[in-house]
Structure 1
Amino acid sequence: MNGVLKGKLLENDTLVQQAANNTKEQFANSPDLSLAIVFAIMDALDAHGHEQPGAELAEDPGGAEGHPVGAGAVI
């Protein structure tokens, strides 16, 4: 699954740009990275047919496009 997660993260243009322009420490502390990791894990679980813990939260109309975390939320 690590290859899937890496691929999902590499699809994120914001992360690619941050990785190129920031130090490792700055990149590791990016809220964009944290959120992208969460979404990549959720997408990977969906792709492999696993039910996500708390999947019922995705039914909440306040959620972001199938993700239980609202758009722009910081985790």
Structure 2
Amino acid sequence: DGKAWFMPWDWGDTQLTYNSDKIDEKDVQSLKVFADPKYKGRVSIGDNVDDAYALASLAIGLKDWTKMT
């Protein structure tokens, strides 16, 4: 029918945490910190696909996560 459907099967929050003794607050004002070469090997993203989609949509500036395709 040309419509996208999504059935949520869980609910929760996605948190980002960092050690403020090691990372300057100005560096974490956007998701670009995950691609910053100075933090290579020192950052990680959980393997939960829901979190990955949410973070990816935020990182590319998507306002409506239902428009991922």
- Please state which band the TM-score falls in when normalised by the shorter chain: under 0.3
- Normalised to the residue count of structure 2, the TM-score between the two structures is 0.26
- Point out which structure has higher relative CO (alpha carbons under 8 A, 6+ apart): 1
Q: Higher helix share goes to which structure?
A: 1
Larger Rg: 2
